[in-house]
Amino acid sequence: MSRSRWTGILALLFVALLGWYLLYTERVINVFRDDAATLTRMFAEVQTGMASQDPLRADEALVNLQRIIVESGVPLVLAGPGDTIQSAVNLPFEADLASPEGQLRVREFTGRLAERNPPVAQTDESFIFYGDPPELQRLRWIPWLQASGLLLTFLIGIVVIRSQRKADEDRAWTAMARELAHQLGTPISSLQGWLELLRLGPDRRPGGLSEEEIAREIAQDLERLERVSRRFELIGRDTELEALALDEVVRSMEGYLRSRIPRLGAGVRLDVEMERSLPPIRGNAVLLVWALENLVKNSLDALAGKGGNITIEAFADDGGHVVLQVADDGPGVDPAVRDRLFDPGVSTKSAGWGVGLSLTRRIVQRIHGGTIELHQTGSEGTVFRIRLPVATPEQS
């Protein structure tokens, strides 16, 4: 199930719970209003009876007061001497107080009432037992239902998060496998070509290549294979960090790419601008070169067929970090993917696998404790910014 569909389900559950809570709140408010109205009517009858000089009117007020109490729905039981039930109203069952069975059943009911509410003493030997209003009994279940709904939403949220995390991991592994196959494919294809040339006689090789020249090319391809193997080995386990001079890392990456830029991006110019005396950082040179290489290749893809400029800057900020910026003057990043640019499987290229920037974020943030962001993008170009913590004196 897609992320948007799960999000929609959770949103509907949240709206349903919110609506339920609003209805519950309105119900409670109405209960309090009804209670206030009942108390007002009782107060009015009491005042009428007290103010009247007519004994019949006072008796009528008492009758009305009793009627209001009965209409409230509150279970009431008057127990006299010897636990004899003298009167009962609003019982949840029918009972004949004149029969022993009725007396026993109501007496058992008063025991349950006494567990909830202490009885009110009318005289030394008479007590009034009372229960909860019917509305309160219904409302008592609503918080439990709400809690169940919240728990259900929470559990569904956990399932969604775990499912989404597994899907992200699957996409990451798929993209990683494709990237590995891609990076291994080029030198392996090259080795196959050199092997075919070795099988040809010296007089049939193009350009009169000697076996020594072919051996040098094979050595370069093997070095590329070793570098790819080393990178993926480091990305898959805990990596030991050491104090590094960042300018050496940048220069290493620059030297590697400059020889390939004419082939990777015709008409592209690479400039490197670094502050002098940059403070050391703690990192792994192999992985940092890989991260920078991914950003530069991303810029090369943006400039493909058009040419342009790529600028790498390195400087120290005031917050104890060294900042690396990779900028190009290409068309910018598609707005549709900007928010998900570093997610596995998201690519700015129609034929891309969406692993380069995801790997770069992992290298910078998880392994080196830094940050990476799409600092700027638009028609004037794109700027990626990496911030890496400076090594402490103890780490240097």
pLDDT tens by residue, 240-282: 888 888 888 888 888 777 766 666 556 788 888 988 888 888 8
Annotated domain spans of the chain? 3-139, 142-232, 240-389
Closest CA to 172 of 345, 372, 294: 345
Measured CA to CA in angstroms, residue 86 lies from 76, 96, 131, 191, 236 at distances of 11, 11, 17, 106, 82
Q: Using 50, 70 and 90 to split pLDDT, how confident is the model at 200?
A: confident
Q: Using 50, 70 and 90 to split pLDDT, how confident is the model at 54?
A: confident
180 vs 364 pLDDT, higher one: 364
Measured CA to CA in angstroms, residue 122 lies from 59, 125, 128, 264, 305 at distances of 20, 8, 7, 99, 99
pLDDT tens by residue, 212-241: 888 888 888 888 888 888 877 777 677 788
The strand order across the sheet containing 308-316 reads 268-274, 308-316, 321-328, 381-389, 371-378
Q: Give residues with Cβ within 8 angstroms of 244, minimum separation 6.
A: 280, 281, 282, 283, 284, 285, 288, 391
Give the pLDDT confidence score for residue 323 in this predicted structure: 92
pTM value?
0.56
Phi, psi of 102 (to 5 degrees): -65, -45
Give the pLDDT confidence score for residue 347 in this predicted structure: 66
Cα 31 to Cα 144: distance, rounded to the nearest angstrom: 19
Instruction: For residues 164-193, give the mean pLDDT.
Output: 76
AA letter at 386: I
Tally of CB atoms within 10 A around 342: 19
Report yes or no: 73 and 90 within 8 Å, Cβ to Cβ.
yes
Is 382 strand, coil or helix?
strand
HSE, CB side, 13 Å, CA atoms: give it for residue 345: 8
What is the CATH superfamily name and number for domain 240-389?
Histidine kinase-like ATPase, C-terminal domain (3.30.565.10)
Cα 175 to Cα 362: distance, rounded to the nearest angstrom: 14
Closest CA to 284 of 237, 327, 317: 237
Cα 201 to Cα 143: distance, rounded to the nearest angstrom: 88
pLDDT tens by residue, 353-364: 567 788 888 889
Region of 332 (left: φ > 0; alpha: ψ -120 to 50; beta: rest) is left
